[in-house]
């Protein structure tokens, strides 16, 4: 009698290259760039390709950067290129609105993530409900998740589940975690909810792949990763590396290795001037626990005010600034400058 090898556990990889990657280029990707990568990701059978301004739907602004294309153009361009992959979008209440969600689903978004600061899941209630009413898959994610403990994260994820989220999880927005941090938090969340758990890593300490593997081993089954790690600061979990690591670890991603390696080359050649790297500023951002996307404005402000960018990151960390508070960077820089006179 023939025996068949046991089925390997399936991990769903969610690819925000065309959203988080926007941080690295000032939100200036054009339609040809979006299309080229979307076609390559689709050919590799990437399950979900996320697109949009780096900070999500409705976020294009003078404060955090205007995108080259409006949301509708980005979504339409990518939707046309995806014949099998699903299209994802991201929205943080306060930047985006219910109207933005309706427009995104109208333009073909299949998966919609609603994000909140790690202690403020209650702000997702209305928008998760809107997404469910629109018929798209609703997911809830907690930003800057290192800023509270495992038990509180689990409680916040349970709240989002109650509001209608069909998957919940955490983002290591500052690249602050060690694998043990991830294990503890994901275990707490998987114990508290009965839906898929999400993990999104950043590579400021060079641990994004290791942290993602720790998340999988702790029970997460939706993992974010971008081609060549294209993303804010030191970049995200590197997608093509993670595919290979998960395959070696005995997990099935459904993604073709040769095809995702080709997509990584498309990303390197068409989307970025250079792949992300771990520089001293990225390390300072991680240690300070400050959003990786602050790198560009911190460097610009530090040069303008004549202060050390590492000192500026550490001072911002002491004040526990979060995305959306970019206007505080100049204030803190001036305070540092005055203190050294």
Is there a contact between 172 and 211 (Cβ–Cβ < 8 Å)? yes
Alpha-carbon span 161 to 100, nearest angstrom: 22
- Classify residue 93 by its DSSP letter: B
270: annotated active-site residue:
no
Question: Hey, what are 133's tokens?
Answer: 């009413």
Is there a contact between 81 and 38 (Cβ–Cβ < 8 Å)? yes
DSSP 167-225: EEEEE-TTS---HHHHHHHHHHHHHH-SS-EEEE-B-TTS-HHHHHHHHHHTT--EEE-
Cα atoms in the Cβ-side hemisphere of radius 13 Å centred on 122: 2
Alpha-carbon span 290 to 299, nearest angstrom: 14
Tell me how crowded residue 46 is: count the other CB atoms within 10 A of its CB.
30
Cα atoms in the Cβ-side hemisphere of radius 13 Å centred on 245: 18
Question: Hey, what are 71's tokens?
Answer: 């949301």
Alpha-carbon span 4 to 80, nearest angstrom: 39
Question: Hey, what are 192's tokens?
Answer: 């508290």
Alpha-carbon span 53 to 229, nearest angstrom: 17
Alpha-carbon span 298 to 314, nearest angstrom: 11
Is there a contact between 111 and 78 (Cβ–Cβ < 8 Å)? no
Alpha-carbon span 311 to 268, nearest angstrom: 32
The residue from 23, 27, 127, 202 that is catalytic is 23
Question: Hey, what are 276's tokens?
Answer: 């992300």
DSSP 281-307: HHHHHHHHT--GGGHHHHHHHHHHHT-
Residues carrying an active site annotation? 23
């Amino acid at each position: 009698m023939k025996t068949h090898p046991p089925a390997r556990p399936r991990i769903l990889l969610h690819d925000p290259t065309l959203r988080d990657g926007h941080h690295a280029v000032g939100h200036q990707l054009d339609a040809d760039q979006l299309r080229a990568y979307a076609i390559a990701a689709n050919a590799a059978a990437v399950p979900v390709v996320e697109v949009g301004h780096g900070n999500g739907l409705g976020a294009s602004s003078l404060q955090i950067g205007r995108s080259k294309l409006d949301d509708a153009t980005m979504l339409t361009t990518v939707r046309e290129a995806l014949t099998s992959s699903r299209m994802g979008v991201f929205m943080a209440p306060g930047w985006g609105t219910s109207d933005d969600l309706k427009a995104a689903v109208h333009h073909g978004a299949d998966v919609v993530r609603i994000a909140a600061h790690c202690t403020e899941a209650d702000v997702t209630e209305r928008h998760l409900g809107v997404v469910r009413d629109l018929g798209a898959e609703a997911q809830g994610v907690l930003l800057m998740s290192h800023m509270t403990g495992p038990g509180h994260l689990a409680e916040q994820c349970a709240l989002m589940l109650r509001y209608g989220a069909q998957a919940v999880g955490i983002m290591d927005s500052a690249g602050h975690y060690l694998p043990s941090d991830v294990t503890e938090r994901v275990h707490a969340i998987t114990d508290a909810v009965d839906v898929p758990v999400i993990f999104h890593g950043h590579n400021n300490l060079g641990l994004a792949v290791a942290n993602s593997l720790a998340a999988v081993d702790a029970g997460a089954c939706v993992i974010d990763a971008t081609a060549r790690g294209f993303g804010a600061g030191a970049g995200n979990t590197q997608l093509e590396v993670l595919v290979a690591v998960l395959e070696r670890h005995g997990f099935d991603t459904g993604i073709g290795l040769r095809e995702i390696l080709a997509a990584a080359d498309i990303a390197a050649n068409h989307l970025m001037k250079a792949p992300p790297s771990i520089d001293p500023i990225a390390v300072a951002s991680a240690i300070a626990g400050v959003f990786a996307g602050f790198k560009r404005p911190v460097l610009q402000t530090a040069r303008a005010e004549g202060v050390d960018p590492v000192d500026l990151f550490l001072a911002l960390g002491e004040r526990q600034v979060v995305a959306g508070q970019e206007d505080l960077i100049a204030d803190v820089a001036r305070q540092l400058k005055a203190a050294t006179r």
